[in-house]
Structure 1
């Protein structure tokens, strides 16, 4: 629409400007020709004084200055406000008239032009140029008139543009409504799929056919992804649940053989018991992870201080049994927004790793919890071997374990569970290698607004 308006408005504005200038030029040409005929009589009769009075009357009526010059360019009669015959435009016009050329004014006028309109008509006596009449007309009035016309054209163009925008808004909304719904659905799809909630289709019967087909294709894709993720979670949960009872029974049967195994098979027996226990732990963590991913629980305000103090009391005994000192610094009155039992699950997984990997008796595990701005920050640091810097990004992957920890019991699911629980609560997990060795895991939960 802007291009159309420019394509129509600019030529129209130029045409109006040229028309106004042409009208003024024709008017001044007629007056100049009339004065040239009067100048002819004055040169023949020697009545230049009468012509000067006539020129003054023309100046009063039409607002221009004029002069009669002889064939040598000397002024013979002019208005009381004399013409500056030495000015370049005037001098060029007079010279052209004395050479016998008729005035040919330009057909284009720009409002920013400041020079006057100069017209010079030759005075002929018996076909011979005997002098010239020159008129100098100011263009202030023409400039104001042209600017007014251009303002009208611009106002009309802006009004047309505004009308076009108003008329196009319903059409644009109709076209973009499916795109807007697709955008919102794409933003919510990941959260919906990971939370285990059913996908809500976005396709509707409004909008262009191409966008309706796109919305239907997106619905089919999103529904398929949600169903696949749900089937995956269901399989993990069902498989873990179905295997847990046989493995528990196997573990109980193996442990009941304690003391009944010959010395030659004692090592194999101990390894079997350990493997059964390890498989049972892996299944328990798989069930926890599956329940976490399938849970559609909404984050709620949680008393962080009370939950942490309760779990720290429970883990003090575990740490003490391994000659590890558990140091806890918990700020009172901490309240965060988290899914139910998120704090207990996260702290159990972090303290289990910290106690398991802390090296040597007399070592310490540090727990801090405090509020920082709009976040509640929970950090657990151990003094174990830690991780290599390039391994930090992979530490929260499922079943991943550092090569240096292969001799330590574990399934590689602890930090993965922490990451999923914290993500569902709207927080995030950060791992770093503090000075002095070990590993520090920092968890941030959204703080309850004051």
Structure 2
């Protein structure tokens, strides 16, 4: 937008400069052409007077005319030709060429040259001026001058060059001024864009600077944007605080409820044992849901998480050993490929918690006899944790929404889970400056891929 605004300013200024410089240049060319005509007509008039005297007196007057013509042609480098009314040449010098015939005929008719072609740096090189010799309607001869226009062309060229240089200098100054004006005008827009980008990335504390330069209307817009962002951030913070407080406060009565229900085991009869076990399962599910809500509220609290070098291999190895036992009990082939050492820059426990979510989902949906592959590697400067299964997988439309909170596939509504695992994993990945991707596996299955920034081997830890 800045480039377009600057281009608009420059085009308008260029059009204004052209509207001023072009008429000025043409006006000077016309004035210089008129001056040239007056100078050459004065010379032609002087020679016309001598020609009239030579025609009437002859003899010495003709000799004076010839001498004056030679002197004139030598002094100005011009061509001159004087003829009587019959067309006989009385004096000539420098050569006038055949192109002056029309002007000569006009002079015989008593017409003086009234205008010349416009003199510009590109031409004409010579101009023709004709003057009748005689008084009133008695034309006794003609004077024809073909004079060089070099001096006039040079003067016009100098003036045009000065105008062009001035226009270029003003255009350059206008270009710089237009750039500064565009920056000044759009600075609040750029600041608003940066603030909205930061807020969209999850930095709810980001605000547009207030009190800087720029149009007052856009500055007021920044102030109102900041007020709106404060209101939205306050609402979101209250919502998060409510979720965190509710999750925390509910844990205590839930723990008491669990204890009391477990104490009822000795009072149950055989017909009620099945319902009792289902009640305990629901309590466990509710406890897991509260834990996930509390963890998600803590991650989304808006407080910048501490990113530091983390030994990812050391973080995930103990968890994988525990998950290997679960996979063996379920009859699932569980393969793990880990490097000796790999360090990422992330929030501590990010890789471990995302691994738990991904492996838990993989083992839930992989049938007995299936396969789950876990790999950790350095790929293109990133730490990539990959969990792949050969379960039913998800169609493309469900892959796009699987990380939403409380989302569960309609095909898996009877499977245990809170629907917050992938949402929590996605928030942890973003807090660490990485990303979480869900990909389809061929011919069937799901791939959960976590990418984290790699800690350079030479960086300080």
Paired residue for 2:321? 313
- Separation (CA, whole Å) in 2 of partners of 1:91 and 1:370: 96
- Separation (CA, whole Å) in 1 of partners of 2:286 and 2:375: 32
- Separation (CA, whole Å) in 2 of partners of 1:419 and 1:71: 108
Matched, 1:120 2:117: no
Paired residue for 2:7? none
TM-score normalised to structure 2 length: 0.85
- SS in structure 2 of the partner of residue 379 of structure 1: strand
What do residues 136-155 of structure 1 show as CA deviations (whole Å, max 9, x unaligned)?
Answer: 22333322321211222233
**Equivalent pair of 1:18/1:107 in contact (CA under 8 Å):** no
**Aligned ranges 1:97-246 → 2 under 5 Å:** 97-106=107-116, 108-124=118-134, 127-160=137-170, 178-191=188-201, 194-195=202-203, 198=205, 202-204=209-211, 208-246=215-253
> Relative to 1, partners in 2 of residues 1:255 and 1:15: Cα closer, same or farther, differing over 3 Å?
same
What do residues 399-428 of structure 1 show as CA deviations (whole Å, max 9, x unaligned)?
Answer: 111111112111211111111111122222
Paired residue for 1:422? 429
**Equivalent pair of 1:178/1:203 in contact (CA under 8 Å):** no
- Give the stretch that moved more between structures: 52-61 or 391-400: 52-61
- Separation (CA, whole Å) in 1 of partners of 2:297 and 2:406: 14
Offset of residue 228 of structure 1: 1.1
**Aligned ranges 1:359-378 → 2 under 5 Å:** 359-360=367-368, 362-378=369-385
> Relative to 1, partners in 2 of residues 1:323 and 1:117: Cα closer, same or farther, differing over 3 Å?
same
- Separation (CA, whole Å) in 2 of partners of 1:258 and 1:114: 119
What do residues 282-321 of structure 1 show as CA deviations (whole Å, max 9, x unaligned)?
Answer: 1111111111111421322222233233332232222222
Query: Which residue of 95, 101, 106 maps to 1:82?
Result: 95
TM-score normalised to structure 1 length: 0.87
Query: Which residue of 296, 310, 313 maps to 2:304?
Result: 296
**Equivalent pair of 1:178/1:204 in contact (CA under 8 Å):** no
**Equivalent pair of 2:110/2:137 in contact (CA under 8 Å):** no
**Equivalent pair of 2:119/2:152 in contact (CA under 8 Å):** no
Structure 2, unpaired ranges of 5+:
1-12
> Relative to 1, partners in 2 of residues 1:383 and 1:163: Cα closer, same or farther, differing over 3 Å?
closer
> Relative to 1, partners in 2 of residues 1:348 and 1:56: Cα closer, same or farther, differing over 3 Å?
farther
- Separation (CA, whole Å) in 1 of partners of 2:66 and 2:96: 12
Offset of residue 94 of structure 1: 2.7
**Equivalent pair of 1:195/1:293 in contact (CA under 8 Å):** no
**Equivalent pair of 2:393/2:441 in contact (CA under 8 Å):** no
> Relative to 1, partners in 2 of residues 1:2 and 1:262: Cα closer, same or farther, differing over 3 Å?
same
- Report the count of equivalent residues: 442
- Separation (CA, whole Å) in 1 of partners of 2:29 and 2:35: 10
> Relative to 1, partners in 2 of residues 1:21 and 1:125: Cα closer, same or farther, differing over 3 Å?
closer
Q: CA RMSD in A?
A: 3.1
- Give the stretch that moved more between structures: 401-410 or 32-41: 32-41
Structure 1, unpaired ranges of 5+:
none
- Separation (CA, whole Å) in 2 of partners of 1:21 and 1:426: 75
- Separation (CA, whole Å) in 2 of partners of 1:416 and 1:184: 26
Query: Which residue of 90, 94, 103 maps to 1:93?
Result: 103
- Separation (CA, whole Å) in 1 of partners of 2:286 and 2:136: 129
> Relative to 1, partners in 2 of residues 1:393 and 1:169: Cα closer, same or farther, differing over 3 Å?
closer
- SS in structure 2 of the partner of residue 380 of structure 1: strand
